[in-house]
């Protein structure tokens, strides 16, 4: 019996490689995963489900948009204290020291940048307490264009001119720090010209998690409402197979955690310090519910919305579909 083909856009994260390489499957549906597709909420190219920005999904909910149904499958998570960089000779070592300073970024609307500002706020530095500069990170990593539905940055935000870069401005002391998704190569070079602002970022992020109970989510999976209403079984199958893939990877990680000398210690750290966050699915855990409330509140506090989304409603449509 032939299976129904379902096309999915999802990056090749380790925990979902069992789905991508066919190690996990579903008896009724054949999943065709495109792991090279760019991150987008555009379904026009035939995708039935795709990885999308969590920040933009919640912004849409706050505006009353319901064309997408989000699945509580938190496919990309992480902390952002580690994503602030400074010059190697900078005297700055903490987020709180950035108050009154100038911070550059090559993205305003991305979820990671939103969580970067949340970390800044948690340290006592509000969005309006610094001067923001937007521009290309370097000659390779460009400024991400603002999507039509993205909130605008503060009115006094400075935009770099063509040919200028954030790293260049950091280099010539025009900026105090830069926050970006991926570290430039110099950060990984011994005695490179740039370093992380917080050298012991693991400790800072652990303190943040202890104080807030939040393990930030960057990306989720989503489907179009029309698809979900026509093929609810397929949506349930997508969600279940994502979980099956994660479970296979997690078992392998615990049994064969040799990708680095202490990888198994990292797995045990998750189990010991992040028990409610180990399984990145669903809204049942207290930690996940705190995170959902936090993202809605952050969007309001950062002036991304005039009224926050209801955290209880973000995945309610999927939960109704899942329990039919």
Question: How buried is 53 (Cβ within 10 angstroms: 0-12 exposed, 13-18 middle, 19+ buried)?
Answer: buried
Q: Is the pLDDT of residue 1 over 70?
A: no
- Mean per-residue pLDDT for 268-289? 96
- Mean per-residue pLDDT for 190-215? 96
For the chain, give every domain's residue range: 4-78+215-322, 81-212
Q: Is the pLDDT of residue 48 over 70?
A: yes
- Mean per-residue pLDDT for 2-23? 94
CATH code of domain 81-212: 3.40.190.10
- Mean per-residue pLDDT for 198-208? 97
Q: What is the mean pLDDT of the chain?
A: 95
pLDDT band per the 50, 70, 90 thresholds, residue 12: very high
- How confident is the model over 248-277, as pLDDT tens digits? 999 999 998 888 888 899 999 999 999 999
Lowest-confidence region among 52-56, 116-120, 260-264, 279-283: 260-264
CATH class of 4-78+215-322: alpha beta
Buried b (16+ CB within 10 A) or exposed e, 64-100: eeeebbbbbbbbbbebbbbbbbbbeebebeebebbee
User: What is the C-alpha to C-alpha distance for residues 309 and 298, in angstroms, rounded to an integer?
Assistant: 11
- Mean per-residue pLDDT for 7-25? 96
Predicted TM-score (pTM) of this structure: 0.95
User: What is the C-alpha to C-alpha distance for residues 170 and 89, in angstroms, rounded to an integer?
Assistant: 11
Nearest to 299 by CA among 83, 61, 23, 65: 61
Write out the two tokens for 23.
Answer: 């190690």
pLDDT of residue 148: 83
Q: Is the pLDDT of residue 324 over 80?
A: no
pLDDT of residue 146: 87
Alpha helices in 6-135 (DSSP H): 17-20, 54-62, 111-122
User: What is the C-alpha to C-alpha distance for residues 239 and 235, in angstroms, rounded to an integer?
Assistant: 6
Q: Are 56 and 209 in contact (CB under 8 A)?
A: no
Is beta strand 217-224 parallel, antiparallel or unpaired with respect to 68-77? antiparallel
- Mean per-residue pLDDT for 5-29? 96
> In CATH terms, are 4-78+215-322 and 81-212 the same topology?
yes
User: What is the C-alpha to C-alpha distance for residues 269 and 146, in angstroms, rounded to an integer?
Assistant: 37
């Amino acid at each position: 019996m032939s299976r129904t083909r379902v096309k999915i856009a999802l990056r090749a994260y380790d925990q979902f490689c069992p789905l991508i390489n066919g190690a996990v499957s579903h008896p009724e549906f054949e999943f065709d995963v495109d792991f090279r597709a760019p991150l987008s909420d555009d379904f026009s190219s035939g995708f039935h489900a795709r990885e999308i920005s969590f920040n933009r999904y919640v912004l849409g909910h706050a505006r009353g948009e319901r064309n997408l149904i989000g699945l509580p499958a938190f496919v990309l998570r992480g902390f952002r204290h580690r994503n602030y960089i400074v010059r190697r000779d900078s005297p700055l070592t903490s987020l709180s020291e950035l108050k009154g300073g100038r911070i550059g970024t090559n993205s305003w609307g991305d979820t990671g940048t939103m969580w970067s500002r949340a970390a800044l706020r948690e340290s006592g530095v509000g969005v309006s307490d610094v001067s923001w500069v937007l521009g290309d990170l370097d000659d390779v990593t460009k400024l991400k264009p603002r999507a039509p539905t993205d909130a605008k940055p503060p009115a006094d935000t400075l935009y770099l001119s063509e040919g200028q870069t954030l790293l260049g401005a950091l280099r010539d002391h025009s900026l105090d720090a830069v926050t970006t998704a991926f570290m430039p190569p110099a950060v990984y070079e011994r005695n490179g010209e740039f370093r992380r602002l917080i050298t012991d970022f693991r400790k800072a992020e652990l303190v943040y998690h202890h104080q807030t109970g939040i393990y930030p989510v960057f990306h989720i999976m989503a489907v179009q409402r029309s698809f979900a209403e026509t093929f609810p079984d397929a949506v349930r199958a997508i969600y279940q197979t994502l979980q099956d893939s994660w479970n296979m990877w997690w078992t392998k990680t615990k049994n064969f955690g040799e990708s680095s000398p202490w990888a198994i210690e990292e797995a045990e750290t998750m189990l010991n310090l992040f028990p409610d966050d180990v399984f990145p699915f669903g809204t049942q855990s207290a930690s996940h519910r705190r995170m959902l409330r936090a993202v809605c509140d952050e969007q309001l506090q950062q002036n991304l919305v005039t009224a926050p989304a209801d955290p209880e409603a973000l995945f309610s449509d999927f939960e109704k579909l899942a329990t039919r």
